Amino acid sequence: MSDNAIDLKIRRCADILRSGGVVVCPTEGIYGLSAAADHDDAILRIIDIKRRDPNKGLIMVGSSFEMVRKYIDVSAIAPDTFRQMLCTWPGHHTWVVPCTSLVSLHLTGNRKTIAVRVSPFNILQRLCEYTQSPLVSTSANISGSSPIDNIGALHDTFGDLVDYILDEPCGGAKKPSTIHDSLSGRILRP
């Protein structure tokens, strides 16, 4: 498929996200359920679709630090840790950071922190740019089940529950992103 055809699919997906829709889209390593991070109703739909505990929170993905900056309480992060975080982005690294009041409590699981990643994956970067918003991201599965890695199974499981399935390949990462805690400095998931 030509890059123009892929771009049209990404733009269609972004239009749906901007209007408050929920989509399945490829990420660095697996397919994810996504919504624009500023659409509470869509975030609640994702939690409902996954049958996920609402206290677990979800990940926010952006295309650049500038896109996610207003959601991060940078003043609460030690300068060395902040520099380390910026050095890992864009990259396959998620950081749990103190958040500002702009972040939905549905996204944080009622915590004062949020998990944030600036993705290196071209499709996710374009999707964020075209949506003009960071996205909510969580694995495309029912909570407790393995992520679904087959387009046919995604359609079977989520076809009637989401507004669009962006059927492009994932980025090829073999494992989930590394998760860092910006306050303790610990790696929560290698």
Per-residue pLDDT at 3 exceeds 90: no
**DSSP-assigned letter for residue 32:** E
State the pLDDT at residue 2: 80
Whether residue 49 contacts residue 190, with contact meaning beta carbons closer than 8 Å, is answered with no
Cα distance from N-terminal residue to C-terminal residue, the chain: 35
State the pLDDT at residue 54: 96
For the chain, list the domains and their CATH numbers. 3-189 (3.90.870.10)
Give the tens place of pLDDT for each residue, 59-108.
999 999 999 999 999 999 999 999 999 999 999 999 999 999 999 999 99
Per-residue pLDDT at 1 exceeds 80: no
Per-residue pLDDT at 131 exceeds 90: yes
Whether residue 26 contacts residue 165, with contact meaning beta carbons closer than 8 Å, is answered with no
Per-residue pLDDT at 147 exceeds 80: yes
Helix (H, G, I), strand (E, B) or coil at 116: strand
Q: Give the C-alpha separation, 154 to 158, whole Å.
A: 6
Please give the structure tokens belonging to residue 130.
């075209």
Q: Look at 1 and 175; give whichever has higher pLDDT.
A: 175
Q: Give the C-alpha separation, 43 to 35, whole Å.
A: 6
What separation in angstroms does the CA of 72 have from each of 80, 81, 94?
16, 13, 13
Please give the structure tokens belonging to residue 68.
């996610």
Give the tens place of pLDDT for each residue, 10-45.
999 999 999 999 999 999 999 999 999 999 999 999
Nearest to 139 by CA among 96, 94, 101: 94
Rounded to an integer, the average pLDDT of 51-66 is 97
Whether residue 98 contacts residue 77, with contact meaning beta carbons closer than 8 Å, is answered with yes
What is the average pLDDT value for the chain, to the nearest integer?
Answer: 97
Confidence label for 186 from pLDDT (cuts 50, 70 and 90): very high
